């Protein structure tokens, strides 16, 4: 039985493309969703919790640890759903040998709501252009993502070097188009940070 509403499915995909992860401990036929955000994004996490509340057993929990690099205390929040058959399907779709991948049906999955969640999770503004911090994905996956955006939304995106990795970069005209698409679904535009140090991002590919 599928316990997920259409809205939950779209939010789920955006979360997994972004910061969330699916966990399958005993069998890939079942999985649970774990969502974890910094204290500065607590309200955003609580919004997600409300959307998945019927799938959870516990309220969000606070996590505190000492960052020994800087000697500062770091606060974050997290929650996870129950382990469900309906989430196992998405685990199979998004993971290979424990590594997150881009599913082959991304073009179908990439609804405006899904895209808004992905950008609120992993997006930022760099010199008035939108970027998605997708550095964990391969060159092949990045090219597939570029093609999906072109076919689904008619926008051209590129790759931008980030030190030794690459990430998705929207030229200004494509940024304007995507902002219009996701605006009705943004929880808070402030969730998309503005990068202050752009020296590390040197070239488009």
pLDDT in tens, 49-80: 999 999 999 999 999 998 888 889 999 999 99
Are 34 and 85 in a shared domain?
yes
Are 14 and 54 in a shared domain?
yes
Q: How far apart are the first and last CA of the chain?
A: 45
- Residue pair 34/91 in contact (Cβ under 8 Å)? The answer is no
72-95 mean pLDDT: 95
Using a 10 angstrom Cβ sphere, with 0-12 exposed, 13-18 middle and 19 or more buried, the burial of residue 126 is buried
Final residue in a domain of this structure, among 63, 86, 101: 101
Are 19 and 64 in a shared domain?
yes
Total domains present in the chain = 2
Nearest CA-CA partner of 44 in 174, 190, 147, 144: 190
Look up the pTM and report it. Answer: 0.90
Final residue in a domain of this structure, among 53, 68, 101: 101
pLDDT at position 195 over 80: no
Sequence-separated (6 or more) residues with CB below 8 Å from residue 183: none
Are 75 and 41 in a shared domain?
yes
Are 149 and 170 in a shared domain?
yes
Give the domain extent around 55: 6-101
Are 31 and 89 in a shared domain?
yes
pLDDT of residue 1: 52
pLDDT of residue 141: 97
pLDDT of residue 201: 44
Mean pLDDT estimate for the chain: 91
Residue 96 lies inside a defined structural domain of this protein = yes
pLDDT at position 34 over 90: yes
**pLDDT, tens only, 144-168:** 999 999 999 999 999 998 888 999 9
Distance CA 90, CA 14 (A): 12
Residue 54 lies inside a defined structural domain of this protein = yes
- 12: CATH: 3.10.28.10
Are 183 and 113 in a shared domain?
yes
Percent of the chain at pLDDT exceeding 90: 77
Are 94 and 120 in a shared domain?
no
User: What string of DSSP letters covers 9-26?
Assistant: HHHHHHHHHTT-EEE-SS
Are 117 and 186 in a shared domain?
yes
Residue in this structure with the two tokens 């996870």, named with its chain if needed: 80
**pLDDT, tens only, 7-32:** 999 999 999 999 999 999 877 689 99
Are 95 and 127 in a shared domain?
no
In degrees and rounded to multiples of 5, residue 30 shows phi and psi of -130, 155
């Amino acid at each position: 039985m599928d316990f997920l509403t259409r809205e939950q499915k779209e939010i789920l995909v955006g979360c997994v493309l972004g910061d969330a992860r699916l966990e399958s401990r005993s069998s890939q036929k079942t999985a649970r969703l774990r969502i974890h955000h910094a204290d500065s994004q607590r309200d955003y996490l609580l919004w997600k919790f409300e959307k998945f509340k019927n799938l959870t057993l516990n309220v969000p929990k606070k996590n505190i640890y000492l960052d020994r690099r800087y000697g500062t205390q770091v606060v974050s929040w997290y929650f996870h759903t129950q382990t469900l058959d309906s989430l196992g399907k998405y685990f199979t779709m998004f993971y290979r040998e424990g590594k997150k991948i881009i599913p082959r049906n991304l073009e179908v999955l990439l609804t405006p709501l899904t895209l808004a969640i992905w950008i609120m999770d992993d997006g930022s503004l760099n010199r008035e252009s939108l970027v998605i911090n997708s550095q964990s994905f391969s060159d092949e996956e990045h090219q597939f993502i570029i093609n999906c955006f072109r076919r689904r939304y008619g926008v051209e995106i590129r790759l931008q070097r980030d030190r030794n990795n690459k990430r998705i970069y929207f030229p200004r005209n494509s940024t304007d188009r995507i902002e219009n698409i996701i605006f009705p679904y943004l929880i808070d535009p402030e969730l998309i940070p503005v990068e202050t140090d752009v020296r590390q991002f040197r070239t488009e590919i």
